[in-house]
Amino acid sequence: MQTTLFAEYDTGPVRIGGEILDSWSYFQRRNSNSIATTEVNAFELGQAYLGFDMADIAGKGTVSTLTAGRFTQNVGSRRLIARNQFRNTIDASTDVA
């Protein structure tokens, strides 16, 4: 069973976001060899970040964003960089993008 709680507060140019994941497996013995941390990772901080929206300098209607902290990301067709969809644990990076 997996529970996810995501929240983001948008103040205009600054966004503060976070996500908590909680993955459990019921009816397993303590220290069992049949289940590992790749299936179960109880109460994990998946994301905690600050996002900054830069103003449109060139006047073309596009806004650049800068995100700093621990976050997940899907890029393009998700072939090279993608968030896990079918696992109970998450791969996140502490980065600036």
CA-CA distance, 71 to 86, in Å (whole number)? 18
Q: pTM for this structure?
A: 0.68
- Give the strands of the sheet with 44-53, arranged side by side: 2-10, 14-23, 44-53, 65-71, 93-96
- pLDDT score for 9: 95
Question: What would the pLDDT profile of 18-42 be if each residue is shown by its tens digit?
Answer: 988 887 777 777 777 777 666 676 7
Half-sphere exposure of 53 (CA within 13 A, CB side): 11
Please name the residue that has the structure tokens 């998946």: 46
